[in-house]
Chain A
């Protein structure tokens, strides 16, 4: 540790995962300001949302737009709150910051990161990187639960599928470096799924257009990734008594119950006389997460996750790595065999199995498909970050405030580059 106090901040568009590098667990804090509007001017910043008791009709003020940190005023409010004594008790002047940014962050936005972190907050030192890279700092081989590999180091090849709030990224790594020309982005994330669910539910049953928070909970509770979408869809057509997919979700009324729940289905013909508001979740349960696999279902003209994994791997050729004596087949085989799933959407039940199943169908038969997922795919990047923050490499790569004051933004470009320039050369 060399006496450094390192704050690891996985600054996601929906939640931030924050904690000091010597801690074992990250805190998950909403990265937003929630206000009520309509006469009630209270607002909840970051963690204060947990003190909220009524989640109807909330408005979100987010620092992120389309997955990029755009609104720094909102971000400042949240950061001021979480760095305060009440939450993380962080004094930037004596703290080193390890922060995440989205893949292919815009260069002008990166400059804003550097300026805000050094000039506005005056952190002692800082390092900026992206989520997939932090993920592979973990002992990823332990994810696969097979006996063949036990070494505790970064694997030669890995492919990270990070499906978050704003979008989904497929990022392949060779020798610990991201292969930039093969990185792919699908513009489908958890926000779009929640909004889509909100829309179809509002059209078919209750008007939930203003109830983003509640519908997000419904999504997290009820939705699942189907293994056989079209035949499961047929099951949804059946009589309710004979339909194992149909669920009755009792909406919260915030007087008796503050959290919605799935109601036990009534067997007999007696109708419930209580005034519970019930939302029937039928084909919505599977057709919402299905969008991750078929974005065209909502008109997004992009392929789904398994197809894009294949696209990404096929964009990698052995000529990109003249120093390594490998052929395409070996490289592709290693990538298919080291897939890692992270991000909140990984928590849909059946997600991992479906990716395995679809990939088996799409990938050449000679390759073994091995997909790993941490028990907590949301904080997995943070865990890797905490590990990285304790390494000597971290101390070499970070930029101190003094260095920034002397060399400016350029030094950040140089040190945080992750060897991008090399990769571009390789690809030529």
Chain B
């Protein structure tokens, strides 16, 4: 078990890990919603706080409504983005893709990944920052190479 076995990760992997983390920050819930009715559709509707009793009147229109809506709500944002084919538009046509703001002109600042204060050091292995020996210890115990920032 030499030290070399824990080899450092390269710049590309570091960037990928940051992307993974950014996707995590986009999530609506920390964990997937447990056992919900989405999967099977009509079997058991969850109990509402105050269920509306007037569904019988509009039953017919509601059924077609929900069928239609179901058919358009299966795709993810990424699938819709591909389907919209805005990638193929010439670069001078403004779209969702061209509107993304550019990187900053200023160099990134460095903060300790443990305590949040300015940090001068980075982990040799994973590239995450820490500011002191104490934070280095915490980092190595809990976070190093665990794909979170």
Chain A residues in the interface with B (C-beta under 8 A): 35, 37-38, 41-45, 48, 51, 59-62, 65-66, 68, 70-74, 76, 81, 84-86, 103-104, 106-109, 112, 115-116, 119-122, 169-170, 180-181, 183-187, 191-192, 195-196, 198-200, 203-204, 209-210, 212, 230, 233, 236-237, 283-284, 287, 294-304, 307-308, 311, 424, 427-428
Contacts and interface: CB of A to CB of B under 8 A. Distances in A.
Contacts of A287: 111, 116
A233 B103 contact: no
B16 to A, nearest CB: 11
A210 B30 CA distance: 6
Given A70-B76, A108-B83, A115-B72, A200 B116 contact: yes
A38 B33 CA distance: 9
Contacts of B98: 181
Given A181-B94, A303-B101, A212 B49 contact: no
Given A302-B102, A311-B102, A212 B116 contact: no
Contacts, number: 188
Given A45-B48, A76-B69, A192 B104 contact: no
B80 to A, nearest CB: 6
Contacts of A38: 34
B28 A302 contact: no
Interface in B38-74: 38, 46-50, 52, 54, 61, 64-66, 68-70, 72-73
Contacts of B47: 41-43
B36 interface: yes
Interface string B8-47: 0000000000100110111111110111101000000011
Contact of B95 (A71, A74, A104, A198): A104
A214 B69 CA distance: 32
Given A48-B50, A106-B86, A184-B99, A37 B76 contact: no
Interface of B: 18, 21-22, 24-31, 33-36, 38, 46-50, 52, 54, 61, 64-66, 68-70, 72-73, 75-77, 80-81, 83-84, 86, 92-96, 98-106, 108-109, 111, 114-118, 142, 148-149
A122 B58 CA distance: 13
Contact of A62 (B28, B46, B103): B28
Contact of A296 (B27, B50, B104): B104
B116 A284 contact: yes
Given A42-B49, A116-B69, A298-B25, A103 B101 contact: no
A302 B101 contact: yes
A191 B117 contact: no
Given A42-B48, A74-B73, A115-B68, 4 more contacts: A43-B49, A106-B96, A185-B96, A302-B101
Contacts of A169: 99
A68 B105 contact: no
B115 A297 contact: no
Contacts of A192: 25-26
B149 A65 contact: no
Given A37-B33, A37-B36, A76-B66, A42 B99 contact: no
Contacts of A307: 104-106
B33 A35 contact: yes
Contacts of B70: 73
A311 B21 CA distance: 27
B118 A230 contact: yes
A109 B24 CA distance: 24
A296 B108 contact: yes
Contacts of B103: 296, 301-303
Nearest to A67: B77
A183 B99 contact: yes
B136 to A, nearest CB: 15
B50 A308 contact: no
Contacts of A295: 104
A21 to B, nearest CB: 25
5 contacts: A43-B48, A70-B73, A73-B73, A84-B54, A86-B50
A108 B50 CA distance: 35
Contact of B80 (A103, A106, A204): A106
Contacts of B106: 307
Contacts of A187: 100
A107 B84 contact: yes
